[in-house]
Each structure stands twice: as structure tokens, then as C-alpha cells.
Amino acid sequence: MNVLLVHQNFPGQFKHLAPALVKRGDRVVALTINEPAAIAGVDTHRAVPQISTGSKLPWAQEFETKLIRGESAFRKALELRAAGFEPDVIMAHPGWGDTFFLKDVWPKARLAIYCEFFYKSDGGDADFDPEFLNSDDPIARNIRLKLKGLPQKLHFPMANRGLAPTEFQKSTYPSSFRDRITVIHDGIDTNAIRPRDNGRITFGDGRSVTRNDEIITFVARNLEPYRGYHIFMRALPALLRKRPNARVFIIGSNGTSYGALPPTGRNWRDIFLKEVRSELDMERVHFAGSLTYPVFLELLSISRLHIYLTYPFVLSWSLLEAMALGAPVLASDTAPLHEVIRHGENGLLFPFFDTEALAEEGARILADVALRRSLSKNARATAVEHYDLASVCLPQQLAFVDAVANDAALAPILENDR
């Protein structure tokens, strides 16, 4: 079978699927915009846009950028077709416009789109945190979100199926397309990511921390409100007062992945650190920045308490990696967590905005050895049973690709959505 994988940051969510398709004998071609990671057996092509947006209207700039990318991918697809490539299945992340015109090049190919998240103006992430709504014009926000969802919506009439990593992420999509979405997580390699007795992090001055130390971890790709960094920092002074021997490692960069940008010239990390810095013993607070993956796993392996917060948004891989390592988890009681964390069994949940509850529950976990052991054991079991790459997720992903390939011609059920 010929499979075309499309992702602007290839391999992205296809990093396990791509080599598995190659291994079983499929011909795999990848189409991307940015410099891709090399995967043996995958024929990768870049569609680099030659122009940039010229629109002066801010709301139009993002969509025009996607059209430019779509046109670039369209031209590269024509080259691939001219060279004889005809995909049976196109698996694509539709969020950046790369896939707008691929069905015009290969009308017989079956198309499956990766359904990561569908933005809406109410009842989701956009209106979740009142702290960041007051300065946001609601009319501008609604227009921005409607345009942000348009690229995906344009794919609904031509996509045979969708693939979402969680039930929550599926639930964000319009009901007219939701029935076509299958839930299969990207997968965690729980054989490699497993509890370690000898984990150790060594500082530049030679000092080390191990599982014998009281380590708290907090992880986000970027330290920003969408992942609750502001709530965590406001709770941290009380938590460290309750646990005078604890040390916290905060992992993440200073950029902005989602949501509002910080004031010009500043970053969210420093803004919220400044709020509480006078109340913190900074000898016990370590900003680790962006770590290499092995060091990241090593640090999580010695964590006695892993704190995870998120708006109603995409669930982070880091949460499941922490659970696979057996880290006791305290997480925000928000929708993405409800299908993963069973309160009191494999983790604890607290109200997102309740900094006092975060500090109290965090201190309770750290003080209760039996509770930590129970949470750790059950967190690991959840990761293995439901999210293991080799035994659960990857076989389901391969079966999904086969099912897409065997789909009949696309039924016109969604024509009215155009």
C-alpha cells in the first residue's frame, strides 16, 4: 500500500506510525514544510512556501498563510504525481493548510485527518480563564477562532475519517463530523519508559538529587497560562512552606505555544515568578528549561509529586510519560484529565484555579508514603493498559490505516456543511 503522511513538522504525531508502516512493507512518502527528522525508509519531501502573507488584516493573515502553504504543497504533490506516486491513503494533520488541495491531485485516495483540537469561542479553552479575557475584544476573539477552525472544517466534506488521541479532543469537533472520528492515542513506550530505582540528576557543581530526595516536578513545553503555570507558581510558596525539604524542578521554555502573548519584551515565566519570588527560597526552585529527552525522563523518574495543569485543551504526552514512570500525579480537574485520572485511585484532581487546594493536596501526597505508592502503582498500570505503544496504540493505528484504505467512496453525508 502507498501511504502519504502530511505534517508541517514531520513526523509529529506520526513518529511511531511512519516506521511501523515501513516495517510491514508499505511505501511511505512524507510531505512537510519544516526541516524533517530522518526516518529510515520514508521518502520525505519539503514543500517550502516561496511567498509570505501580504494581508494587512490580522484575522486574514493566519488564513492566508495557510492558503500559501496549501498552494506550495499542491505544487509538490503535482511533482510527486508526475513521478508516478499514487497514494492509497493520505494521513494528514490539517491544521496548517498543507492538505487543502491534495484531493484535487489524488481524487481516488482515501483521506484521514488527525483531529488534534477544534477551537470554539465558548465552552472550551478560549473562555476558560477569566484572567485573560478582560483585555481580549470578544468580537475579535470570535472572528479569530472562527477563522482558526475554518481550515479543518474545509476538510470535513472530503475526509473519509478522523483520528483523535483522546475522547475529549474528539468531543471538541462539530457533531456532523464527530461520528467519523476514531479515538486512538499516539502511544507511550511503557517498556522503555518505566519506573527506575537508580534515577539521578547531577548539577554542574557536582551535587546530585535522587529518589531519596523530595522532588516536585512541573512540565510544559512553554511556561504559560494554558498549562496552568500561573496557578502553579501562585501555589508554590504555600506548598514549599508545608514541605520544607522539598525541591521543585520546573521544565519548559520561555516562549508561547498557545493563547495570549505576554506584554512585549517579557515572558510568562518571569511575569509570574516575579509575583511570588519574595516568598520563595530560590535555592529550592530550579528552572530547568528545555531538557533532552533522556534527562527529562530521568528527572520525572525521581519525582515524588508530578503536578500537571491544563485548560480544556490538548492532553500533554508528558502526563502519560510521568504516569508510565510511576510518578504520583496531582492534576487539574479539567475535562482532558477525566478520561485519564480517576481521583484517589491513579492520581488526585483539584479545581484548576484553587491554589490553596493545589498546595494542600500536593503536601498530602508528599506526606503519605502509602498514598504515593498506591497512586504510583495505579498510574503505571493505567499507562500500560490504555496507552502502551506496542501492545495497544500502534496496532490500532495500523488497523485504522487499513480501514481507511478499504473505505468505500466518501458518502455525501457532509455536503450540507460546505
* Distance (Å, whole) CA 361 – CA 358: 5
Q: Which helix (H) or strand (E) holds 182?
A: strand 181-183
Please, are residues 19 and 3 in contact by the beta-carbon 8 Å criterion?
Answer: no
Kindly report whether the global pTM for this prediction surpasses the value 0.75.
yes
Q: What is the largest CA-CA distance in the chain?
A: 67
* Distance (Å, whole) CA 377 – CA 339: 18
Report, as ranges of residue numbers, the positions in the chain whose pLDDT lies below 70.
134-138, 409-418
Q: Kindly report whether the peptide bond that precedes residue 11 is cis, defined as omega within 30 degrees of 0.
A: yes
pLDDT at 370: 98
* Distance (Å, whole) CA 172 – CA 26: 32
- Domains in the chain: ranges and CATH: 2-187+390-410 (3.40.50.2000), 200-387 (3.40.50.2000)
Q: Which residues contact 408 (CB under 8 A, 6 or more apart)?
A: none
List strand residue ranges (DSSP E) for 230-375, in order: 247-253, 285-289, 305-308, 329-332, 348-350
Q: Which residues contact 270 (CB under 8 A, 6 or more apart)?
A: 254
pLDDT at 412: 42
- Taking only the tens place, the pLDDT of each residue in 86-105 is 999 999 999 999 999 999 99
Residue 322: C-alpha distances to residues 29, 54, 228, 247, 392 (Å): 33, 44, 17, 17, 18
* Distance (Å, whole) CA 91 – CA 46: 16
* Distance (Å, whole) CA 69 – CA 98: 5
Q: Which residues pair with 307 in a beta bridge?
A: 218, 330
pLDDT at 136: 57
- Check the CA dihedral 358-364-366-371 and report its sign: negative
- Radius of gyration over alpha carbons of the chain, in Å? 22
Give exposure, 39-51, as e/b (b: 16+ Cβ within 10 Å): beebebbebebee
- Check the CA dihedral 190-194-285-201 and report its sign: negative
- DSSP summary character for residue 343: B
